[in-house]
Each structure stands twice: as structure tokens, then as C-alpha cells.
Amino acid sequence: MAKGMREIKRQIKSTQNTKQITRAMEMVSAAKLRRAQLAAEAARPYADKLKEVVGSIAAGTKGVKHPMLQSREIKKTGYLVITSDRGLAGGYNANVLRKVMAEIREKHNSPNEYAVFVVGRKGRDFFRKRNIEIIEEVTGLSDSPTFGDIKSVAAAAVKNFENGSYDELYLVYNQFKNAISQIPTVKRLLPLEDMSGSSVSNYEYEPSPEGVLEVLLPKYAETLIYSGVLEGKASEFGARMTAMNSATKNATKMISSYTLAYNRARQASITQEISEIVAGANAAQ
């Protein structure tokens, strides 16, 4: 009985330590979530204004032709998948990876029909285990990533579309709604959506509208990728905060259960000792 009580006490202590860790991680994630959410929101006006300018040029320039605006026969598809470097974030990574694999299985019959770019160690390891070739990867992002951190993979994804390595490019990421809701999303980046209906603004371009468009279109696509990375970071911290909150609640329930078991075992031990004393006293009479 004493051995069982000692084991229960060890379990209580271990669970209490785990609860302290999960509670601390929840608080840290909550603080990081706020910063990541502000960063994601701050990036949206820039992307919206860039889209306005690009749309205005495309709508106001007759006969404009650019690979990023033209649809073509789909022979190969590119996927840029955004995951995290660390786990303990509930279904954050599993949901987005399940989403992209469902897309691949539905649309493609062979590995020659798609190309994969990855942000995050979890995604990289996932595709490597399945022997899926990764064209370009970025890992080890900070909690507040800058555009420079993901420029290499963004530029490579856009460049490969421009040179015809594949005929469409999709961004696969978790869209941030709130701390408890992150939506796995597959968003087509290239070719860019039809902008013929965009309003024409009275801009002056140097050297020419076509020349400006040549520079702005890749920048716009890369900006959309960076915005997806920021959305992914906010989603990651929201998912981790929610997961750690659930873990903390579960630890509290386990501690209560262990404490109840300990008290019952202690009561049984005391009852047994009293019975032995009474039996000894009766035997001595």
C-alpha cells in the first residue's frame, strides 16, 4: 500500500510539473499571437495597394502581355506549403499537410505533374519521409519573420512559374481567423486573377506601364506569399495557445483524479492500521 501511495505522489508531482510547463507555453503563445496578428494585419494594406496599382496598369494598358497574367494549359502544378518548425500546436501542421496531400492525390497521377516548395521544418520532414522532391525550402524562421527570410523560396516559386516549369502555383497555408479557428486554405497565386475589371487610375509611369508591370507583378506575387507566411505564424501561435490551454485543463483533471486516488489509498491504509491495532488489543485480552 505504501508503495502504491508513493507512486501516486510521484504521478501527482510529475503532472504538476507538466501543468506548469503547458501553462507557461500558453502564456508565451498568447503574447506572440498578439504580435503576429498585428504583423499580418499590417501587411494587408500594402498588398491591397499593390494589387490596385497592378490592376490599374493591366486594365489601362491595351494588349499587355505577361506570363503571370496569362492562363495556359495545365501540365504541371506548383505548391508552396507553409508549416511550422516546431510542434505542440494541435492540428496546425497535420491539417495543412492533409489538405495539400488531398489536392495532390485528387489532381495528379504521378510526381512529374507537381512541384513542392516548403516553409517550415515540419513540412520539409513530412515530404522527405514520403520521398516527395522539394524544389526549395526555408526553415528556422523567427517568430517575427521578415520578407528577407522567405524571399529565396518566394522568388524561386514565382520564377519557376514565369519560365514555364509549371503552369499554375498554389499557396497552401492556415488562414488565421481567431485564436481557436485556423482554416487550412489552398489559394491559387499564379496566374494572377483577372484584373481587367480593375479601375484605371491616373498614374504616370516611368519608363512605361509595361516596364513597371514587369517589376511589380513578381513583387505582388511574392508579397502574397509573405502575407501567407504571416497568416501562418499567427495561426501557429493561436493553435499552440489553444493546445496548451487544453493540456493545462487535462493536467488539472489528472491531478484531481490522482489526488482522489491518493486520499482513498491513504484512508484505506489508516483503516487497515486501525483494524490491526484493534485486532492486536483483542488478542491481548
Distance CA 54, CA 100 (A): 29
Looking at residue 171, its pLDDT comes to 96
Looking at residue 64, its pLDDT comes to 64
Query: Is there a domain that residue 139 lies in?
Result: yes
Q: How far is CA 30 from the centre of its chain?
A: 15
Looking at residue 140, its pLDDT comes to 94
* Three-class secondary structure assignment of 151-195: HHHHHHHHHHHHCCCCCEEEEEEEEEEECCEEEEEEEEEECCCCC
Looking at residue 47, its pLDDT comes to 82
The pLDDT tens digits for 52-71 are 777 777 766 665 677 788 88
Do residues 265 and 8 touch, judged by C-beta distance below 8 A? yes
Looking at residue 103, its pLDDT comes to 95
Query: Which of 104, 47, 58 lies closest to 81, judged by CA?
Result: 104
Query: Is there a domain that residue 145 lies in?
Result: yes
Looking at residue 239, its pLDDT comes to 95
Query: Is there a domain that residue 216 lies in?
Result: yes
Residue 69 C-alpha cell reads as 497574367
Query: Is there a domain that residue 118 lies in?
Result: yes
Do residues 216 and 52 touch, judged by C-beta distance below 8 A? no
Which of the 8 DSSP states describes residue 145? -
Looking at residue 248, its pLDDT comes to 96
Looking at residue 194, its pLDDT comes to 57
Query: What's the count of helices (H) and strands (E) in the chain, helices before strands?
Result: 5, 5
Q: Taking the alpha carbons of 223, 43, 81, 56 in that order, is the dihedral positive or negative?
A: negative
Query: Is there a domain that residue 40 lies in?
Result: yes
Using left for φ > 0, alpha for ψ between -120 and 50, and beta otherwise, residue 266 falls in alpha
Query: Is there a domain that residue 124 lies in?
Result: yes
- Domain ranges, residue 57: 26-242
Domain count, the chain: 1
- The CATH number covering residue 205 comes to 3.40.1380.10
Query: Is there a domain that residue 115 lies in?
Result: yes
Q: Which residues of the chain have pLDDT under 70?
A: 1-3, 59-64, 193-203, 281, 284-285
Query: Is there a domain that residue 84 lies in?
Result: yes
Which residue type does 127 have? F
Distance CA 156, CA 278 (A): 84
